[in-house]
Structure 1
Amino acid sequence: MLSSRIPAIIACSCLLGACGGKKQNPKASQNQAPIVDVIVAGYTNVTNAVEANGSVLANEFVELRPEVNGRLTYLNVQEGKYVEKGTVIARVNDADLQAQLGKIKVQLELAEKTEQRLRKLLDINGVNQADYDAALNTVNGFKADIDYTLAMIDKTVVRAPFSGTLGLRQVSPGAFVTPTTIIASMQQLNQLKVDFTIPEQYGSLVQTGGTVNVVIDGTDNARHKASVIAIEPQANALTRNLRIRALLPPVSKANPGAFVKVYVGENITQKAILVPSNVIIPSDKNKQVVLVRDGKAAFVNVQTGLRQSSFVAITKGVSQGDTIVVKGVMFATNNNPVKVRNIAQLNNLRDTVNQGQQ
């Protein structure tokens, strides 16, 4: 009888032991709060530098073209040389216009003599006023024809519109040219400009009279301070970018058309609460961070602003002095206890991130 009861007793004791183990695990898990590292929110100076691409421009640039059709009879393109304003660069054949001018001058001479005779007769009432007015009108008409012909002759001459450096010659003497023919280009290099674009949301970082830093491609990566002279008032409808123009300092050495990097806002700092970007919990509608309040995790909605490589500024939702969880975010649950292991410093976090990126 006793031997038959022994297996049943052993089975009951094992079952009781198993049941006792199941009752102890939930109780033990409730006492184990997740361990987190935190930082204390505080304001720090941040720089919202924006990098943009730009191009170098000459102070003045023009493509020299004739205004009339004709054959080139004179060409004075000193490639790569500096020329003064008004220098004759090319002439188009104007023989027909010169002949027409000579003809009109002969006709004007005869008309003036006629007008002078009629004027003397008019003084003694030897001719009526209408005849004299017609003669005077003929004189004025020939003078107008001369002015028009001289204007057409002037169009056959291509002059330097400003003092600058000539480019490469595109045509040869004797070539037939039209107003679409480019004889050469001309640029004024004593002052260089930079054109660049930035998203319109960063338009507040730049203003006329301010400065931006420019790095010219292919140089020693030195930063040149360029003065902003104009901002296109209308954003591009397709890209939503603003076009900005700045003057490079005279010491800058670059060729028009060179690629440059422009850094906007490097000289502008503002105070903000910075946190590592990985502590932000994104959702469909909101962004959240985990705070520690009275030993418990509290999920709060925040708004973010400036972004750096691995940090983001919080503009709303967190106040100075709040305790923000930076490690162990995934283990924290709202309104449940957490255990703070370490209070980290923002500078130390930056160093850790930078070492990880290297």
Structure 2
Amino acid sequence: MQKGILAVACVVAIALGIGAALGLGGPLVDRVLAEDEGSEGDRGPEVQAVRTAVAERTEILDQFSAVGDTRAIRSVDILAKTAGVVTSFDVPSGTRVDAGYLLVQLDDRAERAVLRQVQARLGNAQATADRTIELSDRDVAPEASVDTVQAELDLARAEVDAAQIEVDDRRIVAPFAGTVGLTDIEVGARIEPTDVITTLDDLSQMEVIFNLPESLFTSVRQGQALFATGSGSDEVFEGEVATVGTRIDPVARFFEVRGVFDNPEGTLTTGMLMNVDLTLETRDSVTVPELAVVNVGDESFVFVTADGVAKERAVRTGLLQDGSVEILEGLEEGESVITSGLQAIKDGDRVEPKVADAGRTLTAADETAP
């Protein structure tokens, strides 16, 4: 302050000297003093026009993305239970069939003959048992004979059941409703129990199998929502977690997760690559536009406006979603934050807020717009 007074005194002295030399005197001195008084006056800090947005409460989806493979909810290779020669077949590849649909018939003439023999034996055993029981009831036949004929009857019934199984094993049917795959068999060909006749897939629902890192093991639970999209389609399939693996791979540090979703139109099939978004948690949080957050190292700040003054506020951020940042700590719902000109704003600056247009997402262009 003393230096300022000294400087003013010097200016006045010089002005007086020059004025005296030139005969100007008072007018020049008065003007110099007036200008100096203007510089010493309090003009006040400049008011900056800024855009602001209101901190809102938004539903946040905590998601994790992965890539998985599809598999039919039920899928089997159709095999013969016994060796035999194909006498007829109806394998409608790519077509959906009902459970029990006859796909292949093997030669069963010998088995049917055996079945007729044991059925006749069963009829004879049944008649013998009926007569013996009747005689026993009249005390004509001993009780021991009843036990004998009953055992023979049970044996005959077992022989019929075994013969019927042999006949049924030569009828290869669909074990459940599903879509039939390709086949290479022909009438007259002999097939063995190890030969794959065709495949059957239940495509009404699909499984998607994917891996997640060990760090998420305690966060994944059965029933959590997931969304899957195919690499060649924009269609989104909504489903849920069906099974969570109980072991973590000690090398890759991953664990397996299986999700399930409906496939009513049969759009998907086994072996397709899917992009999966797993929703770990849904929560309501305070959010602000991404442009409102200033990151300095590991710290984050926003500028809150109150009574026309910008106040710097440290915040703890969460997830980024649809151009907005989740604020976990440091900001309350309804507070106004500055979204433009942050490079020139300092704590305590006077500002003139202009609220962003309702319903419009702030972009990088708003950073420079007043």
Q: Do the aligned residues in 2 keep the contact of 1:60 with 1:187 (CA within 8 Å)?
A: yes
Specify whether residues 349 and 131 from structure 1 end up closer, same or farther in structure 2 by C-alpha distance, changes over 3 A only: closer
1:32 aligned partner: none
Distance in 2, matches of 1:259 and 1:354, equals: 39
Q: Do the aligned residues in 1 keep the contact of 2:96 with 2:179 (CA within 8 Å)?
A: yes
Unaligned runs of 5+ in 1: 1-34
CA shift digits 1:133-170 (9 cap, x unpaired): 21221122211221233134323321123454321015
CA shift digits 1:287-340 (9 cap, x unpaired): 44265799797563x3322213765211212234365697667997xxxx6646
Distance apart, 1:130 and its partner CA: 0.7
Distance in 1, matches of 2:84 and 2:366, equals: 68
CA shift digits 1:111-143 (9 cap, x unpaired): 446545544654554442112321221122211
Distance apart, 1:184 and its partner CA: 0.8
CA shift digits 1:204-260 (9 cap, x unpaired): 9955xxxx76644434x3x45x564x5426466534675432224x5x562413444
Specify whether residues 85 and 309 from structure 1 end up closer, same or farther in structure 2 by C-alpha distance, changes over 3 A only: closer
* Aligned mate of 2:167, from 141, 149, 153: 153
- Match runs of 1:128-277 below 5 Å: 128-172=142-186, 173-178=188-193, 180-188=194-202, 191=204, 193=206, 195=208, 201=219, 215-219=229-233, 221=234, 223=235, 226=237, 228=239, 231-232=241-242, 234=244, 237-238=247-248, 239=254, 243-248=258-263, 250=264, 252=265, 254-257=267-270, 258-261=272-275, 270=284, 272-276=286-290
Q: TM-score, normalised by structure 1?
A: 0.60
Unaligned runs of 5+ in 2: 1-47, 249-253
1:352 maps onto 2:341 in alignment: no
* Aligned mate of 1:88, from 102, 116, 119: 102
Distance apart, 1:96 and its partner CA: 5.8
Distance apart, 1:81 and its partner CA: 3.9
1:312 aligned partner: 325
1:71 maps onto 2:71 in alignment: no
Task: Return the letter of the residue paired with 2:242.
Answer: E
Distance apart, 1:59 and its partner CA: 6.8
Specify whether residues 143 and 174 from structure 1 end up closer, same or farther in structure 2 by C-alpha distance, changes over 3 A only: same
- The alignment yields a C-alpha RMSD, in angstroms, of 4.9
Aligned pairs, how many? 300
Q: Which has the larger radius of gyration?
A: 2
Specify whether residues 322 and 201 from structure 1 end up closer, same or farther in structure 2 by C-alpha distance, changes over 3 A only: farther
Distance in 2, matches of 1:40 and 1:81, equals: 57
Q: Do the aligned residues in 2 keep the contact of 1:216 with 1:254 (CA within 8 Å)?
A: no
